[in-house]
Amino acid sequence: MFIGIDLGTSEVKVLLLDRDQRIVATAREPLAVSRPHPLWSEQAPQQWWDATCRALDGLAAAQPAALRAVEAIGLSGQMHGAVVVDAHDRVLRPAILWNDGRSGAECEELMRRAPRLTELAGNLAMPGFTAPKLLWLRRHEPEAFAQIATVLLPKDWLRLQLTGEKVSEMSDAAGTLWLDVARRDWSDELLAACDLHRHQMPRLVEGSEPSGRILPQWSRRWGIPRTAVVAGGAGDNAASAVGIGSVEPGQGFLSLGTSGVLFVCNDRFRPNPRSAVHAFCHALPRRWHQMSVMLSAASCLTWAARLTGHADVSAFLAHIDSLTPDAMHHAPLFLPYLSGERTPHNDPNASGVLFGLLNEHAAASVAYAVMEGVSFGLRDGLLALRQGGTAVERLSLVGGGARSERWAQLLADVLDLELVTHEGSEAGAALGAARLAWLSVGGDEAAVCRPPPVAQRWRPRAPEHRQYLMQRHERFRALYPALKRLNPR
């Protein structure tokens, strides 16, 4: 039996997996985000641990025999967050999260201080990454910065509580901007640019390797054997890839969650920072991946449904059924930059736009425009990946947005790719974490990481059907540069 723990932004999810690849049980505990100032996004790490304990308490009560059979635990988590602890492992301040935008000025400073940043880290400096957050702390909270003994990523702070070990792994460490991504090791040069040192970083393992063992007090509390290994694990996107079997070059997925992610596995380090493409290590040895990220995806539909007075997104999207093809062709255009944007613009100040509104447009036209605009943003990400040398012919579709067949078909048309969903794909990163736990105690990669069965499949429709989409996409791409200088942010 294997446990996967996924520390998300909105919840902690814990999953039990047996050796027949059957999900025995899951537990979820909600998390809250604090936004004390504009652009800020923080969480108290203690909240993560409390939620994890509640979830494991629930599983221990419901599945005591299964927990007694646990061989290993895997960890997955939200990337880029900065947890700073002192010499006594005390947390110095709330964790600054991946979607925190306060460090824009520090990104520019880091690019000046580390001329080889893109060469070594494979990425542009963006506020989401960990390194600019530490430069912000150095400037604005020097007392806390001076006390930092170790910087940990969110899931690695959970590991410290579980095992007493300060360890990270390659996929998550690559999202700090301190890793030499090609060499899969910390870069002293990049650390020095933030006035940090190697001894302030956790040691590194591969995601499929052991990182420690569960501490005795937690073994007693949950009935998990003291011999249970804790695997290196993965950042949430790499863990999701392991969960759906995207572990070989050319395999990938499209995630429609709060953010939108296009993830493709590579056999070597392939950076393309000019288009704000992320190049990271995969969670498995000798593999890397490229990723395009848009900061607002399914969350745009939630926003638009709320704005138009709809109780839920499904009811909002149902309006699209009433639209004729001609009405779709003449719908407004929507720029989905409600939280700024990463790929391809790298602009934290970008904002959302509904362009071309007319008196005859109703909720149906707005619903279509928002769904289409997010799809066009994902197409921009795919084009950026291809510019970086990545080839892909099929993507797995995951995340909450994958439940909409209407959206899935539109995405297949816009991306001109086959899309598939998998049975059990809702397990997401927690399943990938459990699989990495299995690998850490000798599991065979080909058997453990096989793709789950295909549940549904969507193929691009005929070119003449997509012609109007491509014409609208050209107008969509022209809007951002035309409006950027007028942006009040």
147 occurs within a structural domain: yes
The sign one gets for the Cα dihedral 54, 59, 60, 62 is positive
Mean pLDDT, residues 93-113: 94
Alpha-helical segments (H) within 152-277:
154-163, 170-173, 188-192, 216-222, 236-243
- In DSSP notation, 261-297 reads EEEEEESS----GGGT-EEEE-SSTT-EEEEEEES-S
What per-residue confidence (pLDDT) applies to 125? 92
Binding site, annotated residues for substrate: 79-80
pLDDT given for residue 226 in this prediction: 96
229-231 and 72-77: which strand pairing? parallel
Nearest-angstrom CA–CA distance, 370 and 2: 40
Band the pLDDT of 80: cuts 50, 70, 90.
Answer: very high
Show which of 172, 203, 232 is a domain's final residue: 232
User: 266 with 346, same domain?
Assistant: yes
Q: Mind listing the pLDDT tens digit for each residue in 130-150?
A: 999 999 999 999 999 999 999
CA gap 68, 70 in Å, rounded: 6
Instruction: Based on the residue annotation, tell me whether 236 is a catalytic residue of this protein.
Output: yes
Residues 187 and 279 in one domain: no
Work out the angle between the directed axes of helices 130-140 and 104-113 (0-180°, nearest 10): 100
DSSP assignment of 36-80, as one string? -STT--EE-HHHHHHHHHHHHHHHHHH-HHHHHT--EEEEEE-SS
Residue 163 lies in a domain: yes
**How would you label 37-61 residue by residue, b for 16+ Cβ within 10 Å and e otherwise?**
eebbbbbebebbbebbbbbbebbbe
Residue 207 shares a structural domain with residue 258: no
Measured distance CA(133)–CA(284) in Å, rounded: 27
In whole angstroms, what is the distance from residue 33 CA to residue 38 CA?
Answer: 13
Q: Which residue has the higher pLDDT, 275 or 369?
A: 369
Q: What is the pLDDT of residues 289-298, one digit of tens each?
A: 999 999 899 8
For residue 19, tell me if it sits in a domain: yes
Instruction: Please indicate, yes or no, whether residues 163 and 257 belong to a single structural domain of this protein.
Output: no
State mean pLDDT over 339-363: 90
191: in domain: yes
Whether residues 105 and 179 fall in one domain: yes
Q: Are 433 and 4 in contact (CB under 8 A)?
A: yes
> What percent of the chain has a predicted confidence (pLDDT) above 70?
100
16 beta partners: 3, 25
Distance of CA 280 to the CA centre of its chain: 12
DSSP state of 230: E
Is residue 240 one of the residues assigned to a domain? no
Distance of CA 136 to the CA centre of its chain: 23
Rounded to an integer, the average pLDDT of 78-90 is: 97
Confidence of residue 151 (pLDDT cuts 50, 70, 90): very high
Contact indicator for 335, 479 with CB cutoff of 8 Å: yes
Residues 464 and 434 in one domain: yes
Among 171, 197, 232, give the residue marking a domain's end: 232
Taking only the tens place, the pLDDT of each residue in 221-261 is: 999 999 999 999 999 999 999 999 999 998 999 998 888 99
- Mean pLDDT of all residues belonging to the chain: 93
Range 387-416 average pLDDT: 87
Give the pLDDT score at 271.
81
Residue 149, in any domain of the structure = yes
How high is the pLDDT of residue 489? 67
Residue 242 located in a structural domain: no
Q: Do 36 and 122 lie in a common domain?
A: yes
Same domain, 189 and 297: no
Catalytic position from the list 236, 347, 380, 413: 236
Confidence label for 179 from pLDDT (cuts 50, 70 and 90): very high
Q: What is the pLDDT of residue 392?
A: 87
**Residues 294, 426, 436, CA angle at the centre, nearest 5°?**
90
Sign of CA dihedral 78, 233, 392, 345: positive
Look at residue 87 and tell me if it is in a domain: yes
Q: Six-digit token pair at 315?
A: 């009811």
Structure tokens at 1: 């039996």
Cα(95)–Cα(7) distance, rounded to whole angstroms?
13
Specify whether 14 is located in the same domain as 50.
yes
Tell me the C-alpha distance between 268 and 285, whole Å. Answer: 11
Q: What is the amino acid identity at position 320?
A: I
pLDDT tens per residue, range 448-482: 999 989 999 999 998 877 888 999 999 999 999 99
List C-alpha distances in Å: 26 to 6, 139, 243, 427, 452. 11, 42, 15, 9, 18
What does the block give as tokens for 186? Answer: 């910390």
- Mean pLDDT across the stretch 364-389? 93
The dihedral built from the CA positions of residue 33, 34, 40 and 46, taken in this order, carries a sign that is negative
For 127-143, what is the HEC assignment? CCCHHHHHHHHHHHCHH
Report the pLDDT value the prediction gives residue 107, as an integer from 0 to 100.
95
What confidence tier does 487 reach under pLDDT thresholds 50, 70, 90? confident
Most confident of 186-190, 357-361, 364-368: 186-190
With contact defined as beta carbons under 8 Å apart, do 193 and 185 qualify?
A: no
Domain with 82 in it: what CATH number?
Answer: 3.30.420.40
Classify burial at 36, counting beta carbons within 10 Å of its beta carbon; exposed 0-12, middle 13-18, buried 19 or more.
exposed
Tokens matching residue 137: 């702390």
Q: What is the mean pLDDT of residues 184-204?
A: 98
* Owning domain of residue 179: 2-232
Query: Same domain for 226 and 262?
Result: no
pLDDT tens, 267-283? Answer: 889 887 877 888 999 99
State whether 216 and 257 are in the same domain.
no
Considering only residues 370 and 390, tell me which one the structure prediction assigns the higher pLDDT: 370
- pLDDT reported for residue 51: 98
pLDDT given at position 129? 95
Same domain, residue pair 390 and 256: yes
Q: What is the pLDDT of residue 424?
A: 76
Strand-pair partners of 395: 419
Domain count, the chain: 2
Confidence of residue 339 (pLDDT cuts 50, 70, 90): confident
CB atoms under 10 Å from CB of 146, counted, come to 11
d(CA 13, CA 61): 16
* Domain final residue, candidates 169, 199, 232: 232
**The dihedral formed by the CA atoms of 395, 396, 400 and 402, expressed in degrees to the nearest 10:** 80
